[in-house]
């Protein structure tokens, strides 16, 4: 991606090829960024975890691993910030892309040189893409009736308690992936890939339950990408632009501080049974900040354009509120590695959103109508806040209804005695809600 952008910045192509290659480079850059962000963190933690074990199979201290990961991650962040400080003083795009290309190329070489020293382990094939296997098996078994006894669900010696949470009607069909058929033994069905364990079904349902909530991160990524792209460009066209790098660093400090404080507040002061609800609330507040950030950026740009008409200019420090809000929304809303995936999708959407509003952009920012672009983002992010609010209410409500769910089984339970506090459907159940 950086190689393509360097070539286009050198203007070595015709106008038609320039636009095409430039677009391909930007899309590849967005895809590469989300891929690296999604994988590097877990990879680093995994390497530190294996290094702590010394090649043994004992569990390492997870808190120590996370602390080491944060130290190395912040060291890398400081190196990147120093490189960005240097790149910020480069006057041409060609030299900027040349510097970033060399910097990223050197990082890639270092990564490849470390391959002989990385710890590796074989992941059991059954754990790969388990959710796809569960859904596929459920679809194959959709014609089956729910069993008369919980013992006909494949628990794989997990004990006397079956959990098929979350208790959501729309996802109950997935339970059928764990139904043991009478045509062959459970081990034969598992080896043939036609039977999943209760644990796999439970994990798949929990993931599918969160997918709608995670999808709201797409708009979050759209706003974040727009802020990281256009906020610095605004500052570069204002008075005191040489202090822009400090403003961007300040945004990063706010993000890290808010993230640290919110995580520690939830960890230390919220009861264990309410931690997930608290995390959902934290994410929702972050989503609200996206709308506030868009409104502030919109109004600041309107004022900046008005000043330009009067042949005046504004100080870059007018951008402090929107940079602070950008860091605040990142620190609050960002949660878990999966967030990187949906935020990355939002970054890619931002490219096409800009293309759809191509009429608002000119050769320079002063002749563009970024205020209209921010206004559109405000409307989209406001709708996304409502969407996230409804999903958060549904998630918290369903989470509270299954705090103690579980289906107790023992060898004395017959087919006519089904305990239905877990939500397993059975043929002879009289529970009206289950029917």
Which two three-digit tokens encode residue 188?
């034969």
Instruction: Please report, in angstroms and rounded to a whole number, the separation of the first and last CA atoms in the chain.
Output: 54
User: 395 lies in which domain range?
Assistant: 216-403
In this predicted structure, the answer to whether residue 342 has a pLDDT above a threshold of 90 is: no
> Per mean pLDDT, which of 77-86, 164-173, 291-300 is the most reliable?
291-300
Residue 122 confidence (pLDDT) = 67
User: How far is residue 327's CA from residue 64's CA, in Å, rounded to a whole number?
Assistant: 27
Q: What CA–CA distance (Å, rounded) separates 130 from 190?
A: 13
Q: Are 373 and 301 in contact (CB under 8 A)?
A: no
User: Helix/strand/coil (H, E, C) string of 23-61?
Assistant: HHHHHHHHHHHHHHHHHHHHHHHHHHHHHHHCCCCCCCC
Does residue 427 register a pLDDT over 60?
no
Q: Which residues pair with 315 in a beta bridge?
A: 239
Q: How far is CA 368 from its chain centroid?
A: 31
- Entry pTM: 0.74
pLDDT of residue 409: 38
Residue 58, pLDDT > 60, answer no
Residues 70 and 146 in one domain: no
pLDDT at 430 over 70: no
Which whole number is the average pLDDT over 109-118? 90
- Residue 404's pLDDT is 41
239: DSSP letter: B
Number of domains in the chain: 3
d(CA 369, CA 361): 6
Q: Is the same domain home to 25 and 106?
A: yes
Last residue of a domain, one of 64, 95, 121: 121
Q: Residue 255 maps to which CATH number?
A: 1.20.1250.20
Segment 189-206 mean pLDDT: 80
Q: Tokens 């910020």: give the residue.
A: 88
Statement to judge: residues 232 and 364 lie in one domain: yes
Structure tokens at 128: 């790969």
% residues pLDDT > 90 (the chain): 17
Same domain (yes/no): 301, 396: yes
Question: Which one of 97, 121, 145 terminates a domain?
Answer: 121
Distant-in-sequence, close-in-space partners of 357: CB < 8 Å, separation ≥ 6: 372, 373, 376
- Backbone dihedral angles phi then psi of residue 157, each to the nearest 5 degrees: 60, 40
Whether residue 294 is predicted with pLDDT greater than 80 in this model: the reply is yes
Which is more confidently placed, 397 or 257? 257
Residues 137 and 227 in one domain: no
Helix, strand, coil share (%) of the chain residues, nearest 5: 70, 0, 25
Same domain, 382 and 264: yes
Complete DSSP assignment for 304-352: HHHHHHTT---BGGGGHHHHHHHHHHHHHH--STHHHHHHHHHHHHHHH
The CA-based dihedral angle spanning residues 137, 141, 145, 147, taken in that order and rounded to the nearest 10 degrees? -40
163 phi and psi, to 5 degrees? Answer: -125, 120
- Joined tokens for residue 161: 């308690």
**Domain match, 42 and 62 both:** yes
Lowest-confidence pick of 155-159, 264-268, 367-371, 419-423: 419-423
| Structure-token pair, residue 26 | 């930007």
């Amino acid at each position: 991606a950086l190689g393509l952008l360097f070539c286009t910045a050198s203007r070595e192509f015709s106008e038609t090829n320039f636009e095409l290659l430039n677009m391909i480079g930007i899309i590849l850059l967005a895809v590469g960024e989300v891929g690296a962000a999604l994988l590097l963190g877990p990879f680093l933690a995994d390497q530190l975890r294996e290094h702590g074990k010394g090649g043994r199979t004992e569990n390492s201290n997870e808190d120590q691993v996370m602390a080491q990961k944060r130290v190395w991650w912040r060291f890398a962040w400081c190196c990147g910030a120093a490189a960005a400080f240097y790149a910020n003083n480069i006057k041409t795009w060609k030299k900027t892309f040349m510097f970033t290309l060399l910097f990223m190329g050197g990082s890639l070489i270092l990564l490849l040189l470390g391959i002989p020293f990385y710890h590796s382990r074989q992941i059991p094939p059954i754990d790969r893409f388990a959710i796809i296997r569960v859904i596929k098996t459920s679809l194959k078994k959709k014609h089956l009736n729910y069993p008369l006894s919980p013992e006909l669900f494949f628990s794989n010696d997990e004990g006397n308690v079956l959990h098929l949470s979350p208790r959501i009607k729309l996802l109950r069909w997935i339970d059928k992936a764990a139904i043991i058929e009478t045509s062959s033994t459970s081990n034969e069905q598992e080896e043939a890939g036609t039977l999943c364990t209760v644990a796999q079904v439970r994990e798949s349902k929990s993931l599918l339950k969160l997918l709608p909530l995670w999808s709201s991160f797409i708009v979050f990524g759209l706003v974040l990408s727009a802020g990281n792209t256009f906020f610095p460009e605004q500052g570069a066209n204002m008075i005191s632009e040489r202090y822009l790098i400090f403003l961007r660093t300040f945004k990063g400090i706010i993000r890290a501080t808010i993230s640290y404080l919110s995580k520690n507040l939830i960890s230390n002061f919220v009861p264990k049974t309410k931690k997930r609800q608290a995390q959902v609330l934290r994410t929702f507040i972050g989503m609200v900040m996206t709308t506030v950030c868009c409104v502030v950026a919109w109004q600041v740009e309107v004022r900046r354009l008005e000043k330009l008409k009067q042949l005046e200019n504004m100080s870059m420090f007018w951008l402090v509120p929107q940079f602070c809000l950008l860091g605040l929304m990142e620190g609050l809303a960002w949660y878990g590695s999966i967030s990187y995936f949906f935020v990355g999708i939002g970054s890619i959407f931002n490219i096409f959103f800009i293309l759809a509003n191509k009429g608002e952009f000119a050769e320079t920012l002063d002749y563009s109508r970024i205020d209209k672009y921010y206004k559109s983002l405000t409307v989209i992010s406001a709708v996304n806040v409502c969407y996230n609010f409804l999903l958060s209410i549904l998630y918290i409500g369903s989470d509270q209804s299954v705090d103690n769910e579980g289906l107790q089984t023992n060898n004395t339970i017959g087919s006519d005695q089904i305990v239905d506090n877990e939500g397993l459907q059975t043929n002879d159940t009289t529970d009206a809600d289950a029917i």
